[in-house]
Amino acid sequence: MKKNKKRGRPGPVLRFGIPTLIAVGIGSVGYRYLPQRLAALQAVYPAPQEVVAGPVTIRVTGDPWSGYSTFRGEPRLKEALAKDRVTLAYLDDEKYYDQNERMRALGAGEIDVALTTLDAFLQHGAKHRQGKQYPGVILFGVDESAGGDAIFLAKGRKSFDEVTTADKVCFAEGTPSEHLWDFASLSFAALESELEKRVGLVAEDCWKKLEAQEVQIAVLWQPFTAIAEKAGYPKVFATGGQADDVILDVLVANRNFVTKQRAALQKLTAAYFKTIAGYQRDLDAHAAFITSDCGPDCAGDKSLGRAVLSGIDFLTAEENACLWFGQCGKPNKLQPRVGKTGKLLIAKHKIDAAELPDAASIVDDSFLLGLKTERERRAQLAAEVAGPDAAGAAVAATTVEEARYRYMVPGAEDAAAGSGIGTLTLPPVFFSEGSYQLDANAQNVVAVIADKLRSFPAMCVRVTGYTNSKGDPAANKQLSKLRALVITQELTRLDASAFPANRFVVKGRGAEQPVLNAGNEDSRASRRTEFTLFECPGVPAAPGPTG
């Protein structure tokens, strides 16, 4: 689930509609001329002729994830679709909770639309390819988990660095919890060892095991993340700014259905985002619906329903078009995310590299583009009707930005001295003996480190340099700090926006913790730099600007 972020909002034309601007423009065009003016403009800006041919039923399925709640009996969505003779039939069948079965049914045409995570689509879609094609195409992003999925430790633990090889971990197998654990275990050094797994069917199973001290690590989703926090268990790692874009829920449509029922899918796209926009304006109504949809897990507790809602970032049409699909002159996020997710699945031996699709082959952005074009057409029409002299006639383009984060205030470095989420697994940056200069190879390694750190945009980073025991201890300590400092300076040079200097705490430990091999110091390995993530003190995270 995700924290609510401020998002780009439609400009006044899109919010208040053509009638408002018509009223504004009366003084300039004259009431008696409006019908003729509108008719002329509609000829210049014709509406797309997407008409649903006869009643259409769209069969859709997913699982109990609250991010899919809008598709399960949401009255606003159903009412909007009914006007266009489209019925949404949500198949709430437990067999479809299994992601592999969901992809099989999609490919077989037993369902028309599947709600799923990007990682599950890549992993299980590969098993049900038809020729070289995946069984469906992504039409848009539904939501990102932003805090709704999290990793908890047993009481008394504070960071991943305190995990031992004797510890046990629980996650619900075949769910986004497993994917989050895969991401964390590839990211943090202390989790590299193959810990004993006690898998569950749902998050509640893992919560009960953590409570009973049967496991020391539990991967949970809402409302059990809220329940665990309330009970005093440390939430060490969560989706959102700590693990950006790791769990992305998408709507995937059967390829044949896309070809045959484009008009119905266009109506679904428009009605869905209209519903989401309505909830953006009425969070109380959305929280009430989420509480109801949550069922026995929330037991009617509105505070748990709000906690569930706070952990889901429902993606708007603007966020989809501008950020994920690159339709507003901004980089396309979806295709690179397909590549990163695929690499993680390969590293965990869940898919072969040869099975991964070309990202462009599993994406159809035409429905979002159609929605964007229609909104622009209406906005332009409204502005023309208002006339060039009318107040507010100019239409400002909607802007959407990624969340931005503030980092440490001056002096907050000391407050962060003992805190930490965990030490990252990163490639070593090697320096020549006695040197703190980055050569070309070292610069390439730092670029790889930068790409990894971008997955944790809200986190501050402690960079600690070490040397081997050769030479003067005081000089070694200074040298180790200089090595850590030059790495942070290179990161800032690569991307000053993502890596401002005040995101880092630089430490030099010299030869204090040598790396031993069979009891003897490994001189090369001791000459290392470690990166530890920690919560930035002093200033809370801040969302990006809205327009």
Q: What is the CATH number of domain 12-16+50-142+246-374?
A: 3.40.190.10
Omega before 500 cis (within 30°)?
no
Does residue 396 surpass a pLDDT of 70?
Answer: no
Nearest in space to 203 (alpha carbons), one of 229, 181, 223, 233: 223
Q: Rounded to 5 degrees, what angle do the CA atoms 112, 113, 115 make?
A: 155
Quickly list H helices, 67-175.
Answer: 75-82, 99-108, 118-125
Q: Rounded to 5 degrees, what angle do the CA atoms 330, 332, 335 make?
A: 170
Does residue 26 surpass a pLDDT of 60?
Answer: no
Q: Is the Cα dihedral 511, 515, 519, 524 positive or negative?
A: negative
Residue with more model confidence, 293 or 123: 123
Mean pLDDT of 377-385: 77
Residue 17 tokens read as 């509609």
Query: Across the strands, what pairs with 312?
Result: 145
Question: Cβ distance 373 to 512 under 8 Å?
Answer: no
Give the pLDDT band (50/70/90) at residue 4.
very low
Does residue 393 surpass a pLDDT of 50?
Answer: no
- The most distant pair of C-alpha atoms in the chain lies apart, rounded to whole Å, by 94
Does residue 442 surpass a pLDDT of 80?
Answer: yes
Measure the CA–CA gap between 188 and 195, rounded to whole angstroms.
13
pLDDT at 360: 93
Residue with more model confidence, 12 or 512: 512
pLDDT at 36: 52
Which uninterrupted H or E stretch holds 461?
strand 459-465
| Residue owning tokens 């949500």 | 90
Measure the CA–CA gap between 259 and 31, rounded to whole angstroms.
44
Tell me phi and psi for residue 220, to 5 degrees: -125, 160
- The CATH architecture one would assign to domain 149-238 is 3-Layer(aba) Sandwich (3.40)
pLDDT at 42: 47
Cβ-count burial 291-322 (b if 16+ within 10 Å, e if not): bebbeebbeeeeebbbbbbbbbbbbbbbbbbb
Q: Please, is 207 exposed, middle or buried when counting C-beta atoms within 10 Å of its C-beta (0-12, 13-18, 19+)?
A: buried
Question: Cβ distance 241 to 535 under 8 Å?
Answer: no
Measure the CA–CA gap between 461 and 416, rounded to whole angstroms.
10
Measure the CA–CA gap between 97 and 417, rounded to whole angstroms.
44
Give the pLDDT band (50/70/90) at residue 34.
very low
Mean pLDDT of 472-497: 94
In the chain, where are the structural domains located?
Answer: 12-16+50-142+246-374, 149-238, 412-535
Q: Extract long-range pairs of 470-476: CB within 8 Å, 24+ residues apart.
A: 470/433, 470/523, 471/434, 473/510, 473/511, 474/510, 476/510, 476/511
Give the pLDDT band (50/70/90) at residue 443.
very high
Query: Tens digits of per-residue pLDDT, 217-254?
Result: 999 998 899 999 999 999 999 999 899 999 999 999 99
- The CATH architecture one would assign to domain 412-535 is 2-Layer Sandwich (3.30)
Question: How much of the chain exceeds pLDDT 90, in percent?
Answer: 61
Which uninterrupted H or E stretch holds 464?
strand 459-465
Enumerate residues 6+ apart whose C-beta is below 8 A from 22: 34, 382, 385, 386
Give the pLDDT band (50/70/90) at residue 539.
low
Residue 460's alpha-carbon distances to 149, 158, 277, 545, in angstroms, are 21, 16, 33, 21
Annotate 366-402 with three-state secondary structure. Answer: HHHHHHHHHHHHHHHHHHHHHCCCCCCCCCCCCCECC
Other CB atoms within a 10 A radius of the CB of residue 104 amount to: 18
Does residue 392 surpass a pLDDT of 50?
Answer: no
Measure the CA–CA gap between 467 and 513, rounded to whole angstroms.
9
Q: Identify the DSSP state of 353.
A: G
Give the pLDDT band (50/70/90) at residue 2.
very low
Give the pLDDT band (50/70/90) at residue 538.
low
Residue with more model confidence, 15 or 371: 371
Query: Across the strands, what pairs with 437?
Result: none
- Residue-wise DSSP of 210-231: HHTTS-SEEEEETTHHHHHHHT
Measure the CA–CA gap between 202 and 120, rounded to whole angstroms.
16
Question: Which range is least confidently modeled, 4-18, 49-63, 170-184, 284-298?
Answer: 4-18
Query: Tens digits of per-residue pLDDT, 277-292?
Result: 999 888 888 989 999 9
Residue with more model confidence, 388 or 482: 482
Question: Which range is least confidently modeled, 187-196, 206-215, 403-412, 466-475?
Answer: 403-412
Residue 415 tokens read as 């407050």
First to last CA, the chain: 25
pLDDT at 377: 82
Q: In whole numbers, what is the pLDDT of the chain averaged over residues?
A: 85
pLDDT at 109: 96
Two domains, one topology: 12-16+50-142+246-374 and 149-238: yes
Mean pLDDT of 371-377: 86
Enumerate residues 6+ apart whose C-beta is below 8 A from 403: 5, 241, 457, 541, 542, 543, 544
Query: Tens digits of per-residue pLDDT, 300-333?
Result: 888 888 888 888 999 999 999 999 999 988 889 9
Measure the CA–CA gap between 254 and 162, rounded to whole angstroms.
46
Query: Tens digits of per-residue pLDDT, 246-279?
Result: 999 999 999 999 999 999 999 999 999 999 999 9
Residue with more model confidence, 251 or 397: 251
Question: Which range is least confidently modeled, 121-130, 146-155, 426-435?
Answer: 426-435
Give the three-class secondary structure for 42.
Answer: helix
Give the three-class secondary structure for 180.
Answer: helix
Does residue 87 surpass a pLDDT of 80?
Answer: yes
Question: Cβ distance 245 to 119 under 8 Å?
Answer: no
Question: Cβ distance 81 to 268 under 8 Å?
Answer: yes
Give the three-class secondary structure for 3.
Answer: coil
Query: Tens digits of per-residue pLDDT, 460-478?
Result: 999 999 988 888 889 999 9
Residue 479 tokens read as 């040298």
Query: Tens digits of per-residue pLDDT, 415-434?
Result: 666 668 999 999 989 888 88
Mean pLDDT of 57-75: 93
Enumerate residues 6+ apart whose C-beta is below 8 A from 491: 446, 449, 450, 453, 499, 504
